[in-house]
């Protein structure tokens, strides 16, 4: 006989009053409320979530679905843990807890999400690593679960999403390289199936064309987003007939493998070949040469995600201005040594 009932009996008060006292509801004498809170603290009482959820139809839990598939793991790194900090700083203000839902490798993400949603263990969801067509979005729309997608998608009509400014980054990188005299600029990217691969390369193509440089498919090197992929990208690049003078990496860890392969071939990055990475991690600065790449605050992104999500939840929307449903998250250039030279005319 534990739970609120015991607490009520201990205080010689009805359980209804105890519940109202604990939940800051009206119709409770201030004196009584103090006694209840003190007793709860003393006895270590915390409301059972199942009972509360069952009654209220709400769990006070926000789910962050992450896919731990091999490809994703390799390049997700501490991305999620970084974002989590920002998310929680906002969610905790509303007594919402964040739980990370890692989709098993051998389960279809769509099925996994369906199961989680049906079980009603979360009030709202953040899904990440969205695909160009992503069943999960239709699922959430149909189930009327508030959600934000981290990554744009063509599915599901006009849902809310936040995505990184791939266009801006690609344009900035290309502009920068072109201004230093580069004309043959390669890019190492994951396959088109992955949203990032498709959008980034497309933006790169457009940026080139704006400068009057013809897009050369041979310069698009499709590799995995890892050190291994960087090494392979270097390898592929060296086999080209006319070698590029610069390369853009879609993931900064690729630089480690790329550097290694270049070194093996006697090519010095930052002198013989310009390299620009995509996302800055602390490690970019410590590579040799240090990597020119793009910086963003994972924490701020988390905050934005949380506020956007809350705006879609009826119970919390009032506090959050109905901002744009779709946000492009900017990144800032962090110049390094890896592209710090100009080509001779």
Partner DNA sequence: CTGCCATACTAAAACGTTTCCGCAAAGCAC
Partner DNA sequence: GTGCTTTGCGGAAACGTTTTAGTATGGCAG
Residues forming contacts to a second copy in the complex (CB under 8 A) are: 44-51, 53-54, 59, 61, 66, 68, 73-74, 76-78, 81-82, 84-85, 88-89, 92, 97-102, 104-107, 114-116, 118-121, 226-228, 230-231, 253, 256-257, 259-260, 263, 282-283, 285-288
Q: How far is the CB of 161 from DNA (least distance, A)?
A: 30
Q: How far is the CB of 141 from a second copy (least distance, A)?
A: 15
Stretch of 41-49, 66-74, 212-220, 252-260 lying at the interface with DNA (CB under 7 A): 41-49
Residue closer to DNA (CB basis): 17 or 128: 17
Helix or strand holding residue 250 (H, E): none
Q: Which does 23 bind (CB under 5 to 8 A by kind): DNA, a second copy, none?
A: DNA
Q: What does the CA dihedral 80, 86, 92, 98 come to, rounded to 10 degrees?
A: -10
Q: How far is the CB of 116 from a second copy (least distance, A)?
A: 8
Q: Which does 144 bind (CB under 5 to 8 A by kind): DNA, a second copy, none?
A: none
Q: Which does 14 bind (CB under 5 to 8 A by kind): a second copy, DNA, none?
A: DNA
DSSP string, 167-197: HHHHHHHHHHHHHTT---EEEEE--TTSHHH
Q: Which does 88 bind (CB under 5 to 8 A by kind): a second copy, DNA, none?
A: a second copy
- Cα 163 off chain centre by: 8
54 binds DNA (CB under 7 A): yes
Residue closer to DNA (CB basis): 34 or 285: 34
Joined tokens for residue 38: 């003190």
Q: Which residues contact 227 (CB under 8 A, 6 or more apart)?
A: 253, 254, 256, 257
Q: How far is the CB of 21 from DNA (least distance, A)?
A: 7
Q: Which residues contact 279 (CB under 8 A, 6 or more apart)?
A: 251, 252, 293, 294, 295, 296, 331
CB 101 within 8 Å of CB 64 = yes
Strands (E), 16-114: 61-67, 97-103
51 binds DNA (CB under 7 A): yes
Residue closer to DNA (CB basis): 32 or 297: 32
Residue closer to a second copy (CB basis): 68 or 191: 68
Residue closer to a second copy (CB basis): 199 or 252: 252
27 binds DNA (CB under 7 A): yes
Pairing mode, if any, of strands 124-128 and 161-164? unpaired
Residue closer to a second copy (CB basis): 142 or 210: 142
Q: How far is the CB of 325 from a second copy (least distance, A)?
A: 27
What DSSP state is assigned to residue 330? Answer: P
Joined tokens for residue 4: 């609120």
Q: Which residues contact 339 (CB under 8 A, 6 or more apart)?
A: 176, 177, 180, 246, 270, 274, 275, 276, 292
Strand partners, 332: 295
Task: Single out the residue of 136, 128, 129, 126 nearest to residue 99, CA to CA.
Answer: 126
59 binds DNA (CB under 7 A): no
Q: Which does 68 bind (CB under 5 to 8 A by kind): a second copy, DNA, none?
A: a second copy
Residue closer to a second copy (CB basis): 68 or 154: 68
Q: Which does 260 bind (CB under 5 to 8 A by kind): a second copy, DNA, none?
A: a second copy
CB 113 within 8 Å of CB 66 = no
99 binds DNA (CB under 7 A): no
Task: Single out the residue of 132, 284, 125, 113 nearest to residue 200, CA to CA.
Answer: 132
Q: Contact residues for DNA (CB under 7 A)?
A: 1-5, 12-17, 19-20, 22-23, 25, 27-32, 45, 47-48, 50-52, 54-57
């Amino acid at each position: 006989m534990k739970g609120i009932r015991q607490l009520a009996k201990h205080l010689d008060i009805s359980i209804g009053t105890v519940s109202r006292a604990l939940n800051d509801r009206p119709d409770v004498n201030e004196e009584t409320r103090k006694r209840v809170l003190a007793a709860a603290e003393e006895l270590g009482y915390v409301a059972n979530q199942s009972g509360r959820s069952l009654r209220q139809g709400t769990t006070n839990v926000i789910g962050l679905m992450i896919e731990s598939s091999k490809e994703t793991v390799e390049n997700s790194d501490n991305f999620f843990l970084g974002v989590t900090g920002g998310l929680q700083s906002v969610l905790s203000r509303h007594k919402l807890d964040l739980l990370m839902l890692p989709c098993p490798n051998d389960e279809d993400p769509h099925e996994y999400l369906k199961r989680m949603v049906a079980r009603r263990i979360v009030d709202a969801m953040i899904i990440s690593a969205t695909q160009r067509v992503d069943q999960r979005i239709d699922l959430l729309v149909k189930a009327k679960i508030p959600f934000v997608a981290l990554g744009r998608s063509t599915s599901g009509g006009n849902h809310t999403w936040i995505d990184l400014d791939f266009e801006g980054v690609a344009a900035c990188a290309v502009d920068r390289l072109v201004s230093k005299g580069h004309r043959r600029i390669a890019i190492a990217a994951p396959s088109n199936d992955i949203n990032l691969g498709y959008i980034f390369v497309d933006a790169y193509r457009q940026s080139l064309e704006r400068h009057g440089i013809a897009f050369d498919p041979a310069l698009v090197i499709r590799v995995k987003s890892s050190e291994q992929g960087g090494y392979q990208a270097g390898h592929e690049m060296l086999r080209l007939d006319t070698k590029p003078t610069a390369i853009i990496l879609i993931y900064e860890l690729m630089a480690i493998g790329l550097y290694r392969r270049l070194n093996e071939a006697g090519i010095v990055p930052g002198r013989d070949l310009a390299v620009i990475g995509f996302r800055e991690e602390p490690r970019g600065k410590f590579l040799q040469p240090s990597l020119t790449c793009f910086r963003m605050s994972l924490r701020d992104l988390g905050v934005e995600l949380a506020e956007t999500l809350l705006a879609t939840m009826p119970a919390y929307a009032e506090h959050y201005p109905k901002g744009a449903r779709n946000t492009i998250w900017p990144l800032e250039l962090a110049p390094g040594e890896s592209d710090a030279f100009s080509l001779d005319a």
